[in-house]
Amino acid sequence: MTPEKCREVIRFYRENLIELSYGGIQGIVGEGPEVIKPKPFGDDELILWPIDQEECLAHLSYMLGEMDKFLDEGRMEKFFRWLGFVQGVCWTLGYQTLKELKDLNMPEPDTGEATVGDPSTAEIAI
């Protein structure tokens, strides 16, 4: 996946996390209507069950910002590890099915390049 395609994935998740915050999860919208307040977790912090969706989305928002930096620095392996985490959380919270996650990064048939698809057609359960 090219850095440009990776940035599309980041944009896709940022837009969908905002939609999720408007879908009834309170307290994570930051200064403006299009901002989720990022919150990093320490390496040794645990999220206990039941999962606090506000905390998860705030942390994913933080991660997406860091992932942008990884692309700028050419740190693709770290970008993909973090993308896997973001997608795993989205699946665990029931925001996306495994098929939707697979389709998001599916290669385009004629180029072999991965694509994020059309974000306007994505379905995320709330």
Q: What is the DSSP string of 53-73?
A: HHHHHHHHHHHHHHHHHHHHT
* Domain total in the chain: 1
CA-wise closest residue to 45 among 54, 35, 53, 56:
56
* 43: in domain: yes
* 59: in domain: yes
Tens of pLDDT, residues 8-66 = 889 888 887 767 555 433 333 444 444 567 777 777 777 677 777 778 888 898 999 89
Could you tell me which residue, 97 or 112, shows the higher pLDDT?
97
* 126: in domain: no
Instruction: Write out the residue range of the structural domain in which residue 102 sits.
Output: 3-121
Could you tell me which residue, 36 or 84, shows the higher pLDDT?
84
* 79: in domain: yes
Residue 99 pLDDT more than 80?
yes
Tens of pLDDT, residues 54-83 = 788 888 989 998 999 999 999 999 999 999
* 94: in domain: yes
Separation in Å, CA 74 to CA 79, 80, 94: 9, 11, 31
* 55: in domain: yes
pLDDT given for residue 26 in this prediction = 39
* 37: in domain: yes
